[in-house]
Structure 1
Amino acid sequence: MSSPQVIYGHLKEVRDLKVDKILKKAITIDSSDSISKTVGVLVNSDSYEVFCMDGKDVLTISARELLGIKDIGDVKIKSLLRKIQPLTRNDTVEKAAAILSHYRMRSVPVVEGNEIVGVVNGKDIVELLQKQDLKWIPASNILTADPITVTSTDSIATARKLMITKRIDHLPVIKGGKVSQVLTSMHLLQVIKPTERLGMGLRGLDLQKKYKENIANMGSTRIPNLNTNAPLSLVIESMLKNDSSCCLLTLWDHVHGIITYKDIINLLESKVPSDVPLYIVGLPEDYSSAEIVKTKFDKIIRNLTKVYPEVEQAKASIKTIHNPDSNRPHYEVSVRVFSPYRTYNYTEMGWDLSKVFDTLGSKLIRNLSQRSKKRWKTSIRKVDKHDIF
């Protein structure tokens, strides 16, 4: 497995690049627009997100978030929009990557004088990474193992529910024991796009009828499918060549994992000053307790090394889970601890990010200290009595 510390140093040029160099046109709406018009804008522009300004605030909504809407008529979109942190022209790609990861987005707007002047797309960041020599990083380093799948005979409603509840945008479709295509949130968004010839009273009935239909051949067949041992450079090349937002990794016709743009962008993690190499991805600078979180993560790992000295490095990934029924942010934090023997993964969720790290710290120390004691006892048993005296 390639060391995060080596990867971090290798990608410095990309991390330090100013976002102004890769700025693209933003897809915007007005907060007074209807939900149905917003859906139409996303489908027609083939965009995953749209943005708008509300005073000094930047608001957004994504394709997957719109899948949960029951009434897509002339209801205003404003109540569903969520506030996000924008970029400035002088910000770096590293900061853009942090925001993309934290808000689970595919693009982040750049604002100048209370006006959205463009966006930085995750795909464009991946194109920057394509120019780096990444043949030495195996795809297995960053894949999401055992992705959730559906069958071609499952209903569209089943796929929609999975995307909403599991917060995912890609569902491999199994047909005849093999993956036949991949269904995305953008495909389902086309299903809920209102048909202009239908009256308002008929739209809901027509939508329910569509949801009951089988997935069948819906989805994209232009999805790269590589061996789990493939180098990351080949994964990126295949995704860009096929204009695909994901790549499947298979082993003996079994879907072993999936890689998305998000997984690749997470390579641009931020480093936390510490005796043990520590990395955090998804912690925007506008978070009021950002420095406290970094300090806590450092303290957790320093305390952990006292009971489990095998720790070589650790990585934390922070995501905001949007809840339209509450203004409070809900956080999901995943921590990976690397040792010479294996990698340990822990996940915790909560409203208070500082308390989430406290809970994770207790879990890590309790679990890994027990493993250290077991290894010590095993080593003692293996020592010959003649070596003791």
Structure 2
Amino acid sequence: MIDNTLITKPSYVAHSMDKLSDIISKMKENKMWTVPVIKDRKLIGLISYKDLLSRRVSLETKAINIMSPSVTVQIDEDINRLIAKFYTTKARVIPVINEKREFIGLVTRESLLSYLLKANEIPENRTAREYMTSPATSIDENDSIARARWLMIRDNISRLPATKEYRLTGIISARDIVDALYSVSGRKRESIMKDEERVMAMPVKEIMKYPVITANGKDSLTDVVEKLLKFRISGMPVMEGDRLSGVISGLDIIKAVAEKMQLSIPIEAKIPQELKSNLEFKANIDDILERYLSKIERLTEVINFKVSFKEEMRSSTGNKKLYTAMVRVTTKIGDYVARDTDWEPVVALKNAVEKIEERILRKLRKIEESNKKGIKAEEA
């Protein structure tokens, strides 16, 4: 059962028909990154700064129309399952629900890291240098906010170190961009559109935060966690002297804990040896698998995720091979299989997992429609 010390009661909960203008105001007021959306005491989704970054919608939009599906944990699940879910879904928060799907509270990355720190589960003698993401995706402080937004969406990240002549000068987050975009409420549509264009064209240095809280490459993971919790930040740049070496986040620490505890992650990939020896290919495959497992886990619980490749033929010149990627996913709502063939195995895999994702979405829509019909029948 999930320890009560892990669960936080959010200071604000949105309801399905709340307006975005009110939600953003409460997010700012309560310094919340993610807000749960509730209907009849049941969790129906989440709204986060990352959602608002990826698409611009009217401040009159209702919560039910902009929320995203959420990965959840049952109150009776164990800590190992919770850690694995954070690791595979890259979630910022995970809502806790009971068997009726009624909302109980949130487990945040911060509350999990605090729990793991007190339990002495942070790996000893491991450093930031070993677990940071390197090289860091960064941006020049004179580049536009539009480019910063594009990089965040492309790389699925929520912060960017800002530099000037390769020297760290600040940091910009998804929250900074969204706050700037949505600070134009109460104006006419034409004025809002002009202001959006103005904000997107502004240089990053206009809204970035500084000075920047950083870690050193040789800092222990325990020191990193303590700094993240002390300053209430989700991640920070890692420096080697004056040089930006990488970025480390709470998620990287959770990954280290998952490895230490040897938690089973539901991914199995059978890759031909000749492809396995290609480090760039392997990195691309790992990125696709982690990204899509994360997306699918937010839709439904994933029990197993298997990938295999088969060589179909060679090109007439013999220097290219045609590959078929096959993906098998076992979930709580059914089993799914998809294949795709391409001269680029990475493209074949991406197309196959996208087919799986679309089929799961179709199944969930059918389930939702069926539930609505059932409710209407009961009311009649």
- Given the two structures, how large is their TM-score scaled by the length of structure 2? 0.66
TM-aligned CA deviation for residue 66 of structure 1:
0.9
- Counterpart residue number, 1:266: 255
1:1-389 matches, within 5 Å, as 18-26=2-10, 27-54=12-39, 58-112=44-98, 113-131=100-118, 132=120, 134-221=123-210, 223-269=212-258, 279-281=263-265, 283=266, 293=267, 296=268, 300=270, 318-320=290-292, 322=295, 353=329
Name the SS for the 2:219 alignment partner.
coil
TM-aligned CA deviation for residue 322 of structure 1:
4.8
User: CA separation in 2, counterparts of 1:265 and 1:247?
Assistant: 15
Amino acid at match of 1:65: D
Q: State the Cα RMSD in Å.
A: 3.9
- Counterpart residue number, 2:376: none
User: CA separation in 2, counterparts of 1:136 and 1:97?
Assistant: 21
User: CA separation in 2, counterparts of 1:196 and 1:219?
Assistant: 22
Question: CA distance change for structure 1 residues 93 and 47 in 2, over 3 Å: closer, same or farther?
Answer: farther
User: CA separation in 2, counterparts of 1:358 and 1:129?
Assistant: 41
Question: CA distance change for structure 1 residues 57 and 73 in 2, over 3 Å: closer, same or farther?
Answer: closer
Q: Which runs of 5+ in 2 are unaligned?
A: 278-285, 308-324, 331-336, 346-380
Question: CA distance change for structure 1 residues 221 and 107 in 2, over 3 Å: closer, same or farther?
Answer: same
Name the SS for the 2:215 alignment partner.
strand
Deviations 1:245-276 (A, max 9, x none): 112222242211111111112234289xxxxx
Name the SS for the 1:173 alignment partner.
strand
Deviations 1:267-313 (A, max 9, x none): 34289xxxxx97544x5xxxxxxxxx5xx45xx49x98xx99xxxxx
Question: CA distance change for structure 1 residues 221 and 96 in 2, over 3 Å: closer, same or farther?
Answer: farther
TM-aligned CA deviation for residue 63 of structure 1:
0.7
Name the SS for the 1:84 alignment partner.
coil
Deviations 1:187-224 (A, max 9, x none): 11211224344234422222221111111152333543
Q: Which runs of 5+ in 1 are unaligned?
A: 1-16, 272-276, 284-292, 309-315, 336-348, 364-389
Amino acid at match of 1:318: E
Deviations 1:47-102 (A, max 9, x none): 22111235765311321121122333312332332222322333233222233333
Name the SS for the 1:269 alignment partner.
helix
Name the SS for the 1:219 alignment partner.
coil
Deviations 1:109-153 (A, max 9, x none): 112344312111101111123332644112222111111111111
Aligned residue-pair number: 298
